[in-house]
Structure 1
């Protein structure tokens, strides 16, 4: 079962693990990121890095390590873009050649309602109105969690292109019941291939206990 593969194009290679068994030790270049972490954090980080290395090997860009870089973003081999995610019972990574995909962002979450007060902190009144209408027609989806996850994928796509923070309030997220979503950037977007990107388009799916969102930004122009 690999829901990341279901929401990404064939040009993106993915790897998913649902537990932390047999993932092996971290590379010395990865170790500093969790040197002082508790056991659970260390385990999820180790497994997620294993997913990243497995995906890179399948892509044909094998690497001994995927260290942590600026603002805790993964450092990929030259010519590769990628994204990593982990939550309870799910670790995954997605990678692609930068000639085929300009940036990738993935996120996995437990498919349940957000804690009280979180939705108000990560969404606008307009977005909450959209979610309320969706919930009335499609109550089987936790749309608040979907919005949160999709905005995480937006940020992971944005940051490698800009090197800048993007707040939850700086993108207007519109999910669709057809498994897609659109994020309109409310701040000046990155210039990619000479084109200013003003919105990201992604896909989502629910797989068992997890909700997964993903964006793969293609070449522009």
Structure 2
């Protein structure tokens, strides 16, 4: 599935179970020490996907630990994103000289519970979901919207180190598998948005989505050199 989403220069790997090609690094296992076995298996299988991506790119061997923000700490000169949900583990990675940031998210292809959409979607997004659901009722547009916002955040945060709420990400879909998103930090409600410079249009993303086999995936990528950051207008694309 993931190969449908990644552009040129991005390595992707996925697994639909927790079988591991080799034993995980004990330093990585230490990150989930004391967690339930199910969580440990998901974590290690997703990390194995990330290592497959890095191996394909010629990255030096070593554990994939965590940043202070909790995201994977990719080796110097590389960027990536990891995701997992029931029945799926996946990762993408690229050389930072080609792509500045990546975001990928996987979810079960099921509608959200009643009332959840209103917690993270704008009125415009809710109208879009209603329209698309009428045109293509077989697709879970509400969960696709949630997933797209997750993917955008995974690309946004490693570059800016700035937390934003779901209301700060405005997403639009095409029925052909593309998505666009605008990040507006000023739409993050206070007190999370504390600084005056947190306002303004920060970035415009384009990406892809795909639904297959009871799963949905969304992905975005930021090309190297794109002026991504607070107050800067940028166009980012996964159309390699």
Q: Identify whether the pair has TM-score above 0.5, normalized to the shorter chain.
A: yes
Please give the per-residue CA displacement for 1:13-61, whole angstroms capped at 9, x wherever unaligned. Answer: 0110110123443313212321011010010001001111111001111
Q: Is the 8 A contact 2:20 2:48 kept in 1?
A: no
How far off its partner does 1:130 sit?
Answer: 1.0
Q: Is the 8 A contact 2:5 2:219 kept in 1?
A: yes
Paired position in structure 1 for 2:89: 91
Moved more, 155-164 or 109-118: 109-118
CA distance in 1, matches of 2:86, 2:68: 25
The partner residue of 1:109 within 82, 107, 110 is 107
CA distance in 1, matches of 2:22, 2:33: 16
Please give the per-residue CA displacement for 1:111-135, whole angstroms capped at 9, x wherever unaligned. Answer: 0001232211111111101111111
TM-score, with normalisation over the residues of structure 1?
0.91
Moved more, 104-113 or 211-220: 211-220
Paired position in structure 1 for 2:173: 175
Aligned residue pair count:
212
Please give the secondary structure, in 1, of the residue aligned with 2:27.
coil
Q: Is the 8 A contact 2:81 2:93 kept in 1?
A: yes
CA distance in 2, matches of 1:198, 1:114: 27
The partner residue of 1:204 within 206, 209, 225 is 209
Paired position in structure 2 for 1:218: 223
CA distance in 1, matches of 2:131, 2:110: 18
Residues 109 and 119 of structure 1, relative CA distance in 2, 3 Å threshold: same
CA distance in 1, matches of 2:172, 2:20: 39
